[in-house]
């Protein structure tokens, strides 16, 4: 009886892995196609949180035109790097206009993100390249979104832009939330498990 129970558990594990691995691969491929943005506020007080949102709005307004001719994540990274000093200046000017003299740091790096819902889109957890903008100490609550292709100012055209950048299967993964909700959760646990051993 014990051997039968063990065999059933092993079989269920193998079947689960077999169905999960293609999903996990699609999620990893999605992270290869997008550039995210991550903004850290100076603190959690209400004024600093409001400043974070004002900085967000101005950075997105500035970068919106930068990506009009961009065709890939790699191009988006190059364009962002080329204009990083202007992005910092945009953020610092926004702070100054609102009576704040905090410094701003911006850098492009690889970061781990949890599963995140943006209206009709779900971005799976995983390692993504992101523009991280730190206001002052960066000890406050953060805000993040998909910078390229743009999801931050969500419109029908933004969704179309994302659809153009991803394969049909990848687009299905991010737009069919109820269908993949359980797998998104497994993916998060899988990422935590992998991070624990690296």
Token match 């550039």: residue? 35
- Ordered by start, the domain boundaries in the chain are 33-196
Per DSSP, which regions of 9-62 are E strands?
35-40
Distance between CA atoms of residues 9 and 1, nearest Å: 12
For residue 187, give both structure tokens.
């993916």
- Residue 36 phi/psi, 5-degree rounding, is -100, 165
pLDDT in tens, 167-198: 666 666 566 655 545 455 555 555 555 555 55
Query: Is-contact 114 24, C-beta < 8 A?
Result: no
Query: Is-contact 70 148, C-beta < 8 A?
Result: yes
pLDDT in tens, 26-52: 667 678 888 999 999 999 999 999 999
Distance between CA atoms of residues 163 and 47, nearest Å: 37
Distance between CA atoms of residues 108 and 138, nearest Å: 16
Distance between CA atoms of residues 24 and 126, nearest Å: 10
The per-residue pLDDT for 66 is 86
pLDDT in tens, 119-158: 677 778 888 999 999 999 999 998 888 888 876 644 334 4
Query: Is-contact 109 28, C-beta < 8 A?
Result: no
């Amino acid at each position: 009886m014990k051997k039968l129970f063990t065999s059933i558990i092993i079989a269920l594990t193998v079947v689960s892995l077999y169905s999960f691995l293609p999903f996990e691969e699609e999620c990893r491929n999605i992270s290869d196609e997008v550039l995210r943005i991550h903004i850290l506020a100076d603190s959690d007080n209400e004024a600093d949180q409001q400043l974070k949102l004002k900085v967000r709005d101005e950075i997105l307004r500035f970068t919106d035109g930068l990506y009009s001719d961009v065709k890939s994540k790699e191009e988006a990274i190059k364009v962002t790097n080329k204009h990083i000093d202007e992005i910092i200046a945009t953020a610092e000017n926004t702070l100054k206009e609102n009576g704040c003299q905090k410094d701003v740091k911006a850098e492009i790096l690889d970061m781990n993100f949890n599963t995140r819902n943006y209206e009709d889109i779900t971005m799976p957890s995983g390692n993504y390249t992101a523009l991280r903008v730190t206001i002052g100490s960066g000890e406050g609550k953060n805000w993040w979104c998909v910078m390229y292709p743009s999801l931050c100012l969500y419109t029908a055209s933004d969704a179309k832009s994302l659809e153009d950048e991803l394969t049909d299967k990848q687009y299905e993964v991010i737009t069919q939330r109820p269908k993949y909700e359980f797998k998104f959760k497994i993916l998060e646990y899988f990422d935590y498990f992998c991070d624990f051993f690296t």
